[in-house]
Amino acid sequence: MKKITLMFIVAAIVAACTSQPPQSAWVKVEGNKFIDPQGNEIVFRGLCFSDPVKLVSEGQWNEKYFAEAADWGANIVRFAVHPAYLNSMGWDATFEAMDKGIEWAKKHGLYVIMDWHSIGNLKDAKFTNEIYNTDLDETFKFCRTVARRYADEPAVALYEVYNEPTVTAPDTGECTWEEWKGIQEQIIDTIRVYNPNAVCLCAGFNWAYDLTPVAVAPIERPNVAYVSHPYPMKRDQPWEEQWEADFGFVADTYPVVCTEIGFCLENEKGAHIPVISTDEYGHHITEYFEKKGISFTVWCFDKDWSPTLITDWNFTPSTQGRFFKEYLQNKAAE
């Protein structure tokens, strides 16, 4: 009897050591879809956080902030890490704060997008505002730091390599798609040295709106997805046909994440081009995303950075906040 029992134990140990789990612990890309660790398609619907350093300085980087995001129905949140803010608080202190944020995100069932939040031309180091000032060396350093630190953290699911590339703003120099494509591929390669599981998000020009070059020259790396920021005033109505031509067609072949959408009324705080609209835009953009299987995060879960989702730190929804809170909660309940 003892000999038979021992044989069963040995067989069980051998089976456990030689068998492989059916799925990775990481979100990954298959075709034009994101696949979760259980092997199911996942569509990300969530909220953009403002900069972690800003939130720390205001006493709002806490578990309640993440719990509220989850209560709104989000399944993912985006950390908008600005170069100037990161340097002002220091890399060690900022990453320690983000470590806590990731733990809070996990506790409340949220994935995280780590976003290097600069606007301008990274090739020529010309940016639209000093808070976005960086360069290629610092960008590679940030990506290395994130990839090393969270190499074993599947909750940090998406690496947004650069927020909003543009060369059409004043004094932002020149950069071709081939040049920008090559820079993004170098960044991806740097990330993958330390975290081969990272899903990298790649944006086009025109403040991360235009993905038309992807039709002929896509990023030549696996496990990538594409970013667009289709704010309402990027195109006149009717929107859908233009969205399809500018970025939506990409979702037929690759995953697309619109990491910034949103709107505010003309008379609301912070109204500016290109975000002024009504909830008509909200209905159109979400219906279009559902049709195309496009993921998104709404800008911005903050009372100051417009278009705002909240009007105070009691999380009272703004006009767009009311729309997107109801929408996200309804989708989460399905």
Q: How confident is the model at residue 24 (pLDDT cuts 50, 70, 90)?
A: low
The 3-class secondary structure across the chain, one letter per residue, is: CHHHHHHHHHHHHHHHHHCCCCCCCCCEEECCEEECCCCCEECCEEEEECCHHHHHHCCCCCHHHHHHHHHCCCCEEEEEECHHHHHHHCHHHHHHHHHHHHHHHHHCCCEEEEEECCEEECCCCEECCHHHCCCHHHHHHHHHHHHHHCCCCCCEEEEECCCEECCCCCCCCCCCHHHHHHHHHHHHHHHHHHCCCCEEEEECHHHHCCCHHHHCCCCCCCCEEEECCCCHHHCCCCCHHHHHHHCHHHHHCCCEEEEEECCECCCCCCCCCCCECCHHHHHHHHHHHHHHCCEEEECCCCCCCCCCCECCCCCCECHHHHHHHHHHHHHHHC
Check whether the bond before 83 is cis (ω within 30° of 0): no
Percentage of the chain exceeding pLDDT 70: 93
Report yes or no: 323 and 329 within 8 Å, Cβ to Cβ.
Answer: no
Place of tokens 């939130």: 55
The answer to whether the predicted template modeling score (pTM) of the entire model surpasses 0.85 is yes
List of domains in the chain: 27-333 (3.20.20.80)
| Distance, CA of 117 to CA of 201 (rounded, Å) | 13
**Average pLDDT of span 209-227:** 98
What residues have CB less than 8 Å from 216, skipping those under 6 apart?
Answer: none
Residue 181 pLDDT grade (very low, low, confident, very high; cuts 50, 70, 90)? very high
Mean pLDDT (whole number) for 247-270: 97
Q: How many CA atoms lie within 13 A of 116 on its CB side?
A: 28
d(CA 97, CA 56): 8
Q: Check pLDDT > 60 for residue 286.
A: yes
User: What is the pLDDT, as a whole number, of residue 21?
Assistant: 34
**Is the predicted pLDDT of residue 302 greater than 50, yes or no?**
yes
Query: Per-residue pLDDT tens for 71-90?
Result: 999 999 999 999 999 999 99
**Rounded distance, CA 243 to CA 253, Å?**
16
Return the C-alpha torsion angle 210, 158, 193, 174, nearest 10.
20
Average pLDDT over residues 136-157: 98
